[in-house]
Amino acid sequence: MSEKNFHIVTFGCQMNVHDSQWLARALTARGFTETPLEEARVVVVNTCSVREKPEQKVMSALGRIRQVTGGDPGVLVAVAGCVAQQVGAAFFERENQVRLVAGSDGISGAPEAIERLLAEPDLRLSLLDFTSHYVEREAGAEGPCGPVAYVNIMQGCDNFCAYCIVPFTRGRQKSRATPAIMAECRARLNHGAREITLLGQNVNAFGRDKSGDGVSFARLLAQVAALPGLERLRFVTPHPKDMGPEDIAAFAELAPLCPRLHLPLQAGSDAVLRRMRRKYDRRGFLDLVAALRAARPELALSTDLIVGFPGESEDDFQATLEMMEACDFMSSFSFCYS
Ligand code: SF4
């Protein structure tokens, strides 16, 4: 069995799926081969801490890896992503197969670290520092791709919503340089993609941080929409408070931009929204939905809702139900607060 057989286990959101796909391409470019877990000598667990019991999920994944590999100390296990950022080097004590812990920014250094760890079997590495700028990743745009491509345009978030761990696990917002985004979009289209989804934790705040290069989110949308070969353009996840007139107008003006938007409401009561620190209210959200539908009448909206936020009363909950009707969401991802 080759030392360069690898397997990636992924938990969580589209950003994590995207990170795992990039890591697979980067390792493949370095001569590694993706295999089932049973044949792997390098196993990466890419973790998420948004939903309940994230650490237990990771420990149970590590337990399964131990079982399948018979606890072989020659199998290199890496823990990456948000739970790695939170728990850090303590993973080395919890599971002796773990020899790499790479946080949200550290994952960009994982391919090189894995090669070093294979060459130095007694070494353990942790890559947990946040960077002050968006770190470009090697081999990001290489290799074949299906018709749908995901392109990261920013990392982290500055909003600190009361219930969310992202600013602590993914760090502060860092926009990617526009030329690098455009180069990756072009490369994906040249490799067969026809649809591109632009990704970011607070995607429509793109450019509004010190890593920004003066290009607004609306301007970026227009540039990507104009690329030859692109048939569909989407983005996820926008924050309602950052959806400006130019972003709304894009739905009227850019033909490739799909009439589909995920717009997280979270709660329909102004009191709960204030305590959540969402920085919009019912009226503002309804006005935004009306403006979006005026720009693109066939626009289909989906949303996220949290039920049972601390202090939520029956009246607050009824206010959320009213908003669901008023906004005519096509679907919602609804979670009990945890
Ligand atoms: S905007 Fe989104 S990612 Fe940022 S803190 Fe709020 S919920 Fe979390």
Q: Tell whether 226 is covered by a domain.
A: no
With vertex at residue 314, the alpha carbon angle to CA 309 and CA 319, rounded to the nearest 5 degrees, is 80
* Cα–ligand 1 centroid distance for 178 (angstroms): 23
Q: Tell whether 154 is covered by a domain.
A: no
Q: Tell whether 315 is covered by a domain.
A: yes
Measured by CA distance, the residue closest to atom 1 of ligand 1 is 159
Taking Cα atoms as reference points, which of 165, 178, 232, 180 lies closest to residue 206?
178
Q: Tell whether 316 is covered by a domain.
A: yes
Q: Ligand 1 pocket: which of 51, 82, 161, 333 to mutate (most atoms <8 Å of CB)? A: 161
* Cα–ligand 1 centroid distance for 174 (angstroms): 14
Task: Pick the last residue of a domain from 111, 127, 143.
Answer: 127
Conformation bin of residue 321: beta by default, left when phi > 0, alpha when psi is -120 to 50: alpha
The tens-digit pLDDT sequence of the chain (338 residues) is 788 999 999 998 888 888 998 999 899 999 999 999 999 999 999 998 876 678 888 999 999 999 999 999 999 999 999 999 989 999 999 999 999 999 989 999 999 999 999 999 999 999 999 888 888 887 654 566 789 999 999 999 999 999 998 898 889 999 999 999 999 999 999 999 999 999 999 999 999 999 999 999 999 999 999 999 999 999 999 999 999 999 999 999 999 999 999 999 999 999 999 999 999 999 999 999 999 999 999 999 999 999 999 999 999 999 999 999 999 999 999 999 98
| Ligand 1 atom nearest 237 alpha carbon | 2
* Cα–ligand 1 centroid distance for 201 (angstroms): 7
Which residue range(s) make up the domain with 314? 259-338
Q: Tell whether 173 is covered by a domain.
A: no
Pocket of ligand 1 (CB under 6 A): 157, 159-161, 164, 166-167, 201-202, 239
Q: Tell whether 278 is covered by a domain.
A: yes
Alpha-carbon span 160 to 173, nearest angstrom: 11
How far the first Cα of the chain sits from its last, in Å, is 43
* Cα–ligand 1 centroid distance for 159 (angstroms): 6
Helices 217-225, 178-190: inter-axial angle, 10-degree rounding? 30
* Cα–ligand 1 centroid distance for 203 (angstroms): 10
Task: Pick the last residue of a domain from 92, 127, 162.
Answer: 127
Task: Pick the last residue of a domain from 77, 107, 127.
Answer: 127
Q: In the chain, how many domains are there?
A: 2
Q: What is the CATH number of the domain that holds 17?
A: 3.40.50.12160
DSSP state of 103: -
* Cα–ligand 1 centroid distance for 213 (angstroms): 22
Measured by CA distance, the residue closest to atom 6 of ligand 1 is 161
